[in-house]
Structure 1
Amino acid sequence: MNIPHIHSLFLKSTGVSTDTRKIQKQSIFVAIKGDRFDANTFAAEALEKGASYVIIDNEAYYIDDRTILVKNSLTALQELANFHRNYLKLPIIALTGSNGKTTTKELINVVLSKKYKTKATIGNLNNHIGVPLTLLSFDTNTEIGIVEMGANHKKEIEFLCEIAQPDYGYITNFGKAHLEGFGGVEGVIEGKSEMYQYLFKNEKLAFINLEDPIQVEKSKILKHYSFGVNKENANVTISEIKANPFVEILFDSIRIKTHLIGLYNANNVNAALTIGQFFKVENEAIKSALESYIPENNRSQLLTKASNEIILDAYNANPSSMLVAITNFLQLEKENKIMILGDMFELGSSTHQEHTALVDLLKNETNIQCYFVGKAFYECQIQKNNFHFYENFDSFSAIINKQRFENSTLLIKGSRGMALERTLDYIK
C-alpha cells in the first residue's frame, strides 16, 4: 500500500467518501466493510456517480486503473489521514469525555474562528472512521483543526490519538457513560485518560478544569493551561456562574449570556473561553462567539410550544448527564414542571441500578409530574401519584396524546435510541 501515492491522488481530488449516497464528483471512495454489508460491492457505483478513484480490499471487485487495491480499506483510510495530518503540520486540538463533547467542540470552533481559519469534526463523526474523515477535511487553508474523539471501550482514545497526533487536548469529564464497554466508572477514567498519556508522552499541552478533582490529579504530570471558578491558581478565572435557565458567566468584568441551558453547560462554555484566551482571541470576540451560538440537534434546546416551555435534551443520556439535567431542572424557578425521561442505554449490568437511582432521586418531588419511558425504567417503577411509567414509546404516546399541557415547563431527556423528540408531536 503506497500511502504517499494515494495522498498525491487525494490532493487532486474533491475529498474522500465512505458512502456512495454522498459521492462528490472527482472524489475518492473508500470501500469499508460493515457488519451487514461489504462496501466493495459499491465500487462500480461510486465510479459511475463521478468518483475519480475507489479504494477496495477485495480483488474480486477490481474494475480498472481507477481501482486501488489495498490489504485493508479501513487501515488505508486511517494511514492516509495520519499522513495528511503530518503533511499539513497544523496545530490540532483533540477533545473527549463522557458528556458535552460535541457542544464543547462547537463552542471552541466558534470562538477560535473569530481569529483563525478553523475546521472541526462535523456532527459527532468521532470514531475510528469519523476521526480520519475529519483529518482529511483539513486543507492548507486550515489554521487550527478541532477533532472530537468518542470511545466506548479502552484503547480507543489511544488509537485515535496516534492517528490525529494532537498538540492540545481537553477531557470534558469522566462520567457514567458506556459503562458496558468500559467495564465500570474506573474503566471510563482509564479509557478517557489515554489522551493524557499521549499528551504526556509527546510533551503536548492539556487544558484542565480545576473544578474536576480527577483532572486536577492528572494534571500534576502534564503541561497544562487551566480554568476554574474563583481559583487563584487558574490561568483563567471565572468569577461568577448562574443558569436560570440559560448559562451566564462573568469573566474579567465581562458578562457573557449564552443560549445554553443548565449549569452543566457552564464547563463547556468555560473550556471554550479558556482555549480562546490561550490562542489570544480578544475578549469581546469571545463574548460575541459564545453569545451567538445556538444549540441544535436536540441538544439542550429551549423551545416554545403553545403556552409551554420545553427543554429538549434528547440527543443522548447516561447516568451522569441525566443527573445534572434533572438537578438543574429542579432548581429552575418555574411552576407546573413536568419531566419526561427515557431509558439510558449501554449500561450493561448497571442498568437496573442506575435507573432505580434516578427514580429514587425524585421520590420526594411531589409537585412535578414525572413520566418514565422505556423498559429499564418500567422495571423499577414505584407507586406515586405523580409518577407514570410506560414500557415503550407507543404506550406513552397513546396517553400523552390525550393530555393537555398548559403554561408548563417540560424537560425531555433520554438516550438517542429512545428518540424522545417525538414527544413534541403530541404536545398540544
Structure 2
Amino acid sequence: MQRCNFNMDPISISDLLVATGGHAADGLDRDINFNQVVIDSRQVTPGSVFWALPGTLCDGHDFVRDACQRGAAFCVVNSDRNDWGGPVVKVAHTGAALSRFAQWYREQLEPLVIGVTGSVGKTTTREMIHAALSADHCGIRSIANYNNEIGLPLSLFQLEKSHDYGVLEMGACHSGDIRDLCAIAQPEVGVITGIVPVHLEKFGSLEQIIQTKAELLQALPSDGFAVVNGDCPHAQSVAAYANCPVIFVGESQENEYRATNVRASQHQLSFHVGDHEYHIPVSGRHHLPAALCAVAVATEVGMAAEQIAKGLLRFATAAGRCQIKQIGPWTIIDDSYNANPTSMRAACQLMQAWKTGNKKIAVVGDMLELGDEAGRYHHDLGIQIAQSDIDCLLAYGDNAYNVIAGAFEAGMDAHQMAECPMFESLLMNLDCWLEAGDVLLVKGSRTMRMERVVEWATRQTEEINNLDALSVPA
C-alpha cells in the first residue's frame, strides 16, 4: 500500500461545517484544527480527519471505529448512519460533502491551478509541467492516479497558501465529469494533451470525447489561457470551446511553440523551441507533446528558458509509464500502467528504434473500452508489431487472437508468437523465450495488470542471484 500524506493549511471544524452543511456530534470541540484528510483508516495519524466514503468493494463507514482508535480527530460520516462510538461530523452524503469542502478550500487559496486532461499522456504531461515549474517555484501536483471526484479533492488538499501553483490531472468516464472537477479546482490554466478514440464504450463517440475534454477549456476564466497539442487532428475542434487565449504546441509550423531539431535516443529526448534547447531523460519521441506543453506553460507564467531546461532535466518517468529498467540480464521497457491504440503505436515505434544485438520481445495485454472496434484495433496492433522490428510476440487476453492474426498476416513468423488467453501460459512462454540481453516491452490496459510480468522478471533475477550465491565455494 502506498502511503500518501495530504497536508493542508490548518482548518477548524467550524469551517468544515460551513463548507459542507454538516452537523457536529454533541461534545465535539468546534475549535479543533486539522490539516489532513484521509479516506483509508490505515493512513490515519493523530489529529487527521477520516472521511468515510461508500465504495463498490468496501464502505468507509465500516472503518470509523478503526480510524478513531488510530487517533483521528473526528470522522465525517453519512447522517443516516448511527452508533459510531467516536467523534463525528454528519453530512447528507460524504462524497458530495468532500467535493463541497474541496471547493471551499480552493477558494481560500491563491496559487495558480493548472488543469491537465486528454485521452493520452495526462500523467506524463502533469509531471513534466511540475518538473519545469519546480525549478523556479514551489508547488504540488496530483498524486499517482488521483484524477477523479475523490482523488482530485485529496490532491487539492496538498495545496497551502505558501505554494505558487498546483498541477491537477483530470480524468473522465462520462460527459460532465471534467466540468464537475473544474467546479472544485477552479483552474486558471488548462492543458489538453491530445484526443484519440479511447473509452469508446463509455463515451459512445469521438465527438463526445472532444466535448467532454473541452469542458476544461469552457471552465477557464477569460484572463486565463489554454495549451493544446496542435498536432492532434482534433486540436481546432476542442479549442473552439475556449473563452480565453489558446496556445498551440507541436512540430507543425503553425504552432506557437514549435519543436525543431528533435532527436530521440534510447535514454534522452532533445529538441529546440526557438533558440532554446531542451533535454529530457526519457525514451521515445512520443514524450514530445508533454514536453512542449510544459515549456509553454512555464514560459507563459514568466519563467526563463534556462530555468525551464534545468527543471525538465530533472524529470523522472512515473511508475509503469515507459520506464526503462535493467532487471538482471534483461532490459525491460515497463509501460504496463495502461494502453490504448495511440500509446501502443508509440511503444512499437520505440521498440523499432531500439538498438540491440539481442531479441526484442513484445508482451502485450488487451486494450480495453474500445467498444465494437476492439477487434479491429487489436488486429492493427498485431500488424504494427510485425512491422516494428520485433522478434517475438506474446499476446494476452480476450483479444490475443486478433493481435496474433494481425501479426501473422503482416509476415511475422508463427513460431515467434503465441496467443495466451491465460496469464500463466504467458509466463510459461516467456520463460522459454527470454535470454540474457533481450529487450522486453510490457504493455496493456490497467485491468490486465501487466506489471505482473515485470514482477515475475524481478523474482527470476532474485532466484538466479540466490543460486549463484549458493554455488560460490566456502
Query: What is the aligned partner in structure 2 of residue 309 from structure 1?
Result: 331
Query: For 2:265 and 2:229, how far apart are their aligned partners in 1?
Result: 23
* Structure 1 residue 45, shift from structure 2 partner: 2.0
1:411 partnered with 2:441 = yes
Query: For 1:240 and 1:110, how far apart are their aligned partners in 2?
Result: 22
Query: For 1:252 and 1:199, how far apart are their aligned partners in 2?
Result: 28
Query: For 2:360 and 2:38, how far apart are their aligned partners in 1?
Result: 46
Query: What is the aligned partner in structure 1 of residue 228 from structure 2?
Result: 208
Q: Deviations over 1:132-191 (max 9, x none)?
A: 111222111122111111112211111111111111100111123222111133322222
Aligned pairs for 1:320-359 (under 5 A) are 320-335=342-357, 336-359=359-382
Q: Deviations over 1:178-207 (max 9, x none)?
A: 22111133322222122122227x663211
1:87 partnered with 2:108 = yes
Query: For 1:337 and 1:216, how far apart are their aligned partners in 2?
Result: 38
42-51 vs 53-62, which deviates more? 53-62
Amino acid at match of 2:377: E
1:23 partnered with 2:53 = no
User: SS of the counterpart of 2:367?
Assistant: coil
Unaligned runs of 5+ in 1: none
Q: Deviations over 1:277-319 (max 9, x none)?
A: 1122222221122112221412111122344332111111112
1:138 partnered with 2:163 = no
User: SS of the counterpart of 2:135?
Assistant: coil
Q: 1:38 to 1:338 in 2, by over 3 A?
A: closer
Percent identity of the aligned residues? 27
User: SS of the counterpart of 1:260?
Assistant: coil
Amino acid at match of 2:17: H
Query: What is the aligned partner in structure 1 of residue 149 from structure 2?
Result: 128
Q: 1:404 to 1:165 in 2, by over 3 A?
A: closer
User: SS of the counterpart of 1:213?
Assistant: coil
Instruction: Select which of 423, 433, 443 maps to 1:393.
Output: 423
Amino acid at match of 2:299: Q
1:360 partnered with 2:372 = no
Query: For 1:364 and 1:120, how far apart are their aligned partners in 2?
Result: 38
418-427 vs 346-355, which deviates more? 418-427
Amino acid at match of 1:190: Q
Query: What is the aligned partner in structure 1 of residue 450 from structure 2?
Result: 420
Q: 1:402 to 1:265 in 2, by over 3 A?
A: same
Query: For 1:87 and 1:20, how far apart are their aligned partners in 2?
Result: 27
Q: 1:11 to 1:280 in 2, by over 3 A?
A: farther
Query: For 1:380 and 1:403, how far apart are their aligned partners in 2?
Result: 19
Query: What is the aligned partner in structure 1 of residue 119 from structure 2?
Result: 98
CA RMSD of aligned residues (A): 2.6
Contact residue 14 and residue 25 of structure 1 kept, 8 A = no
User: SS of the counterpart of 2:114?
Assistant: strand
Q: 1:64 to 1:378 in 2, by over 3 A?
A: same
153-162 vs 252-261, which deviates more? 252-261
Query: For 1:95 and 1:174, how far apart are their aligned partners in 2?
Result: 12
Q: 1:67 to 1:405 in 2, by over 3 A?
A: same
Query: What is the aligned partner in structure 2 of residue 114 from structure 1?
Result: 135
Query: What is the aligned partner in structure 1 of residue 61 from structure 2?
Result: 40
Contact residue 39 and residue 50 of structure 2 kept, 8 A = yes
User: SS of the counterpart of 2:228?
Assistant: strand
Instruction: Select which of 282, 290, 294 maps to 2:316.
Output: 294
Query: For 2:65 and 2:329, how far apart are their aligned partners in 1?
Result: 54
Amino acid at match of 2:261: E
User: SS of the counterpart of 2:149?
Assistant: coil
* Structure 1 residue 26, shift from structure 2 partner: 0.6
Query: For 1:372 and 1:36, how far apart are their aligned partners in 2?
Result: 30
1:189 partnered with 2:210 = yes
* Structure 1 residue 331, shift from structure 2 partner: 3.5
Query: For 2:336 and 2:130, how far apart are their aligned partners in 1?
Result: 23
Q: How many aligned residue pairs are there?
A: 426
Query: What is the aligned partner in structure 2 of residue 61 from structure 1?
Result: 82
Unaligned runs of 5+ in 2: 1-12, 21-29, 409-413, 462-474
Query: For 1:175 and 1:365, how far apart are their aligned partners in 2?
Result: 22
Query: What is the aligned partner in structure 1 of residue 468 from structure 2?
Result: none
Q: Deviations over 1:56-75 (max 9, x none)?
A: 11443354783111111111
Query: What is the aligned partner in structure 2 of residue 271 from structure 1?
Result: 293
Amino acid at match of 1:60: R
Instruction: Select which of 211, 214, 239 maps to 1:219.
Output: 239
49-58 vs 74-83, which deviates more? 49-58
Aligned pairs for 1:223-234 (under 5 A) are 223-229=245-251, 231=253, 234=256
Q: 1:286 to 1:159 in 2, by over 3 A?
A: same
Query: For 1:140 and 1:89, how far apart are their aligned partners in 2?
Result: 7
Query: What is the aligned partner in structure 1 of residue 262 from structure 2?
Result: 241
Query: What is the aligned partner in structure 2 of residue 285 from structure 1?
Result: 307
Amino acid at match of 1:391: P
288-297 vs 168-177, which deviates more? 288-297
User: SS of the counterpart of 2:34?
Assistant: coil
Instruction: Select which of 8, 11, 17 maps to 1:5.
Output: 17
Q: 1:62 to 1:417 in 2, by over 3 A?
A: same
